[in-house]
Amino acid sequence: MPIKIASESLHACSGCEISILDMGEKLLELLEFAAIVHLPLLMDSKHDSPKKNPRTIKLPKADVGLISGGIKTREHLEVARALRKSCDLIVALGTCATHGGIPALANSYGNDDLLGRCFNTKGTDKADSFPSDGVPGMMDTCSALDEHISVDIFLPGCPPHPDHIFKALESIEKKELFSLPDKSVCDNCPATRNGNGQVKALKRSLELPNWRVYEGKEDFICFLEQGFLCMGPVTKDGCGGNTDSARCIMAQVPCRGCYGPVKKEGNQRLAMLNALASNGIDISSLPETVSMLRFSGGHGLLRPIDRRKESK
């Protein structure tokens, strides 16, 4: 019997579902042991509208529920609860689901600020009130999934590598444990580290990093030592899938931290400030530090700016 998979997308961009398709030929292999019974982005399957009655959401029974996206509206919450109820295992698919992801940057603002920005800024039609008819109510914060429902497997990444999506589903079918290595992006990085960063202020990422030919091989000095903000020291490794090579680094771009903190309970921003300081970079040269958490602002790590000021 194939394992049944049901999937829903909450506060998400659908990139995680595209990553399922990015498996390529492996998708055919997946379909030999798995049947997708519900995945609105790829097939015409819808749940009942919760606008009329939030408790009416009906989803098919499945062995595995893949949920991408965090929770920002009442509808997201009800859909997540309904899938939890109808599936034996829940996989948090992607960094929005595991850590809040890009949408959790909204946690730096209150809902009135967010709605005002959308509906009442220059260039938009002036509105006396925000739309509410038929619109799901907003929660105060954008949360990771495990802040509201229990999650069995965490698959971070923006998006997660298709190899890992396949491996996670295969391990469920084989009744094996699945986990990503507890390593940082730095642990697998081929950069040369001299241990003597000479740069005192961060450079803009628009500048080109230095690459060189060293002993006949193409080589580069650690981005951080060159003064570029590379989140490798505090970011979970795995984005290269089976290749073991971090995707951005191999494209000569510093890591932005999309796999979330290397330690589950870690505060990626504090750990990164520490890494910058120990590389000799003057932290006061950073224009701001909120964007360091642009993938991991759930779990109460980002709060509205005025509340942050008050708590200082």
Rounded distance, CA 58 to CA 240, Å? 36
Beta carbons within 8 Å of 17's beta carbon, 6+ residues apart: 7, 9, 39, 41, 42, 68
Choose, by CB under 6 A, the member of 7, 107, 108, 235 that binds ligand SF4. Answer: 235
Q: Decide: helix, strand or coil at residue 188.
A: helix
Choose, by CB under 6 A, the member of 81, 148, 203, 247 that binds ligand SF4. Answer: 247
DSSP-assigned letter for residue 192: B
- Whose CA is closest to 302, among 124, 149, 98, 106? 106
The stretches of the chain forming alpha helices (DSSP H) are: 15-21, 25-33, 74-86, 95-99, 111-119, 162-173, 247-250, 268-278, 305-310
Residue 279 beta carbon to ligand SF4: minimum distance, rounded to whole angstroms:
8
Strand partners, 192: 221
Residue 275 beta carbon to ligand SF4: minimum distance, rounded to whole angstroms:
8
Strands 87-93 and 138-143: unpaired
Q: What are phi and psi of 142, to 5 degrees?
A: -95, 120
Rounded distance, CA 141 to CA 249, Å? 32
Binding mask 19-58 for ligand SF4 (x = CB under 6 A): ----------------------------------------
* Window of 45-53, 194-202, 217-225, 262-270 that interacts with ligand SF4 by CB under 6 A: 217-225
> Would you count residue 144 as binding ligand SF4 (CB under 6 A)?
no
Q: Which is nearer to ligand SF4, 116 or 253 (CB)?
A: 253
> Would you count residue 101 as binding ligand SF4 (CB under 6 A)?
yes
Q: Which is nearer to ligand SF4, 64 or 102 (CB)?
A: 102
Binding mask 168-207 for ligand SF4 (x = CB under 6 A): -----------------xx--x-x-x--------------
Find the distance separating the first CA and the last CA of the chain, reported in whole Å: 57
> Would you count residue 301 as binding ligand SF4 (CB under 6 A)?
no
> Would you count residue 272 as binding ligand SF4 (CB under 6 A)?
no
> Would you count residue 16 as binding ligand SF4 (CB under 6 A)?
yes
Q: Which is nearer to ligand SF4, 136 or 157 (CB)?
A: 157
> Would you count residue 71 as binding ligand SF4 (CB under 6 A)?
no
Choose, by CB under 6 A, the member of 5, 6, 7, 12 that binds ligand SF4. Answer: 12
Residue 97 beta carbon to ligand SF4: minimum distance, rounded to whole angstroms:
7
Cα 1 to Cα 14, 63, 168, 172: the distances in Å are 28, 11, 18, 13
Q: Residues in the site for ligand SF4, rule: CB under 6 A?
A: 12-13, 15-16, 68-69, 94-96, 101-102, 158-159, 185-186, 189, 191, 193, 222-224, 230, 232-233, 235, 239, 246-249, 254-259
